[in-house]
Amino acid sequence: MGIYKKYLPLLLGAAIAAGIFIGSKLNFTDTSDKIFAANSKKDKLNKLIDYIDYEYVDQVNTDSIVDVAVNGILENLDPHSVYIPADQYQETADDMRGNFVGIGISFYIYKDTLAVIRTIKDGPAEKAGIKAGDRILYADGRKIFGDSIHRDSITKYLKGAKNSKVTLKVFRPDNQRKGEEDLLSFKLKRKEIPLVSVDATYKINKNLGYIKVNRFSETTYDEFKAALDQLEEEGITSLVLDLRNNPGGYISTAQSIIDEFLEDDKLVLITKNKSGKVEKTYATSSGDFENGNLYVLINQNSASASEIVAGALQDNDRGTIVGRRSFGKGLVQREMSLGDGSAIRLTIARYYTPTGRSIQRPYKNGNSAYYHEYETRYENGEMESKDSIHVVDSLRFVTPKGKVVYGGGGIIPDVFVPKDTSIENETLEYISQSGFASYFVFEHLENNREKFSKFTKEEFIENFEVDENLVNEFLEYSRINDSEYSFKDHLDHLKLIIKASIAQQLFDSNTSELILNQDDAMIKKVLELEETSSTETLE
């Protein structure tokens, strides 16, 4: 199987490039002098499109040419100036706004049918009585199953204007097993559905709290603040802020979160634009967690706003950065509409951490090399040893308390945690993150929903165990046991992945993360640091 070849681990590092690196270079030539007789650069491009539109020998979709041209132009600026086509804009905008208008379901396109994984709490679907496992076949009489099914058509029929109504026809497998084969009918009113950016909030132990943030959207700060307030009410004195695999988002959101940890007037961020104008941002209001122990988890896929948070805290000697070197994005983008529903995100400034360091890594070798740097890090041994991280002495900076930090390519953690780069572990991580295990779990739940319906969340966490039979079923389903590698030393990790996937579908991401973190190397390192800190305090 190709997935088990030598470079399988690189699939994980390359994943952050998905949706960011698009387009290719475009080079048109024309012997006509008229093209170059334009009065301005803008006129030249307009004339080129007109010539193709009206004079070219074949019919050409000039809209697609414009899209490729825009991509080509932006690609030659920097890796983070990107074009967002009109057909992708709404989904991108929803993601950053932190909500969308719909019926409130999580679903798979399972075989040729829309299968409900679970309903969103308090959403229209849950209130109407739709259940996990239901197949939605019709929306307002329109067929949404069969060979022609695809996510765009589903989104078109299930999303809509706020308070608009939709009638769904649903097939329920449980009813079929009971001999009731009639379709169920549900009338729903579409509502705003939150796109949650705080994946998990819970206590690791009596004093240590945990918050995982997956991106920085418009709603993230409010979610984060609610999570922090909850943990403080429960008596935590230390906090883990997990920013692993967080690609970033709004700088203003990152600054608001930083504010909770820094004293007033501490420098948070420096930005510098094309004209050389420098803006400095400082902590403002009194934060709610300025004194407790703080641990920020980062890895090679923590980028942009995540690095702003980690860099601001590190440069102010606040907390401990734990993990592996972050992505290395120090460019600021602004979204600009192109008037036809599409937009661009154009780099307008560079940002610097409070000590004055830029963490943007070089991109002079092109976008492909830029987004595949994980391969270089992997091959150089950086995933396994902090000593393998290349630093430049000229980019050496010192924090107020004398800690040495470096610019030029991501945030280097204060405490390094190596990655298990064995092919077995990388394979399991790929299976977990790709959603492959989720499909297996969905099929397992289909045949055992009555059994699992008896579990409360707490009972599931404490008492449910993945037995050998289920593990063997998964090994057979995934066929990873057909490979040349042995997974016998990783069965406990595999059991956690399966259990966490079941929890995700039965309950929520919070329960899933709690289960996965039971065997997490960075969490274990934080617990060691906490124990050391506690001992030093007692002494």
Look up the domain containing 490 and give its range. Answer: 423-522
> Do residues 210 and 183 both lie within one domain?
no
Report pLDDT for 169: 96
Looking up tokens 């803006």, which residue turns up?
Answer: 279
Residue that is last in its domain, among 138, 172, 194: 194
Report pLDDT for 5: 42
Residue that is last in its domain, among 366, 389, 416: 416
Is 538 contained in some domain? no
Distance between CA atoms of residues 126 and 105, nearest Å = 8
> Do residues 222 and 337 both lie within one domain?
yes
**Count of the separate structural domains present in the chain:** 4
Is 87 contained in some domain? no
Q: Residue 180 — very low, low, confident or very high, per pLDDT cuts 50/70/90?
A: low
Q: Residue 62 — very low, low, confident or very high, per pLDDT cuts 50/70/90?
A: confident
Report pLDDT for 480: 81
CATH assignment of the domain containing 162: 2.30.42.10
Is 527 contained in some domain? no
The C-alpha angle with vertex 13 and arms to 9 and 14, in degrees rounded to 5, equals 105
Report pLDDT for 63: 83
Is 233 contained in some domain? yes
> Do residues 202 and 173 both lie within one domain?
no
| DSSP notation for 152-206 | HHHHHHH--STT-EEEEEEE-HHHHHTT--SPEEEEEE-EEEE---EEEEEESSS
Report pLDDT for 355: 98
Is 12 contained in some domain? no
Is 391 contained in some domain? yes
Q: Residue 29 — very low, low, confident or very high, per pLDDT cuts 50/70/90?
A: very low
Is 459 contained in some domain? yes
Report pLDDT for 111: 85
DSSP state of 216: B
> Do residues 456 and 387 both lie within one domain?
no
Quote the mean pLDDT of the chain.
Answer: 89
Report pLDDT for 177: 65
Q: Are 200 and 210 in contact (CB under 8 A)?
A: yes
Write the pLDDT tens digit of every residue in 108-129: 888 889 999 999 999 999 999 9
Report pLDDT for 179: 63
Write the pLDDT tens digit of every residue in 63-96: 888 888 899 999 999 999 999 999 889 888 999 9
> Do residues 364 and 249 both lie within one domain?
yes
Looking up tokens 């334009």, which residue turns up?
Answer: 38
Is 451 contained in some domain? yes
SS3 breakdown of the chain: % helix, strand, coil, rounded to 5?
40, 20, 40
Out of 266, 329, 495, 499, the active site residue is: 329
Our answer to whether residue 329 is catalytic in this structure is yes
Task: Select the more confidently predicted residue: 401 or 151.
Answer: 401
> Do residues 28 and 74 both lie within one domain?
yes
Residue range 407-411: average pLDDT?
95
Residue that is last in its domain, among 359, 385, 416: 416
Q: Residue 19 — very low, low, confident or very high, per pLDDT cuts 50/70/90?
A: very low
> Do residues 278 and 409 both lie within one domain?
yes
pLDDT at 416 over 60: yes
Report pLDDT for 9: 44
CATH assignment of the domain containing 283: 3.90.226.10
> Do residues 308 and 257 both lie within one domain?
yes
Out of 326, 333, 358, 432, the active site residue is: 333
pLDDT at 2 over 50: no
> Do residues 379 and 258 both lie within one domain?
yes
Our answer to whether residue 304 is catalytic in this structure is yes
Q: Residue 154 — very low, low, confident or very high, per pLDDT cuts 50/70/90?
A: confident
> Do residues 219 and 368 both lie within one domain?
yes
Out of 217, 256, 304, 512, the active site residue is: 304
> Do residues 105 and 147 both lie within one domain?
yes
> Do residues 462 and 380 both lie within one domain?
no
Write the pLDDT tens digit of every residue in 311-329: 999 999 999 999 999 999 9
Residue range 183-209: average pLDDT?
96
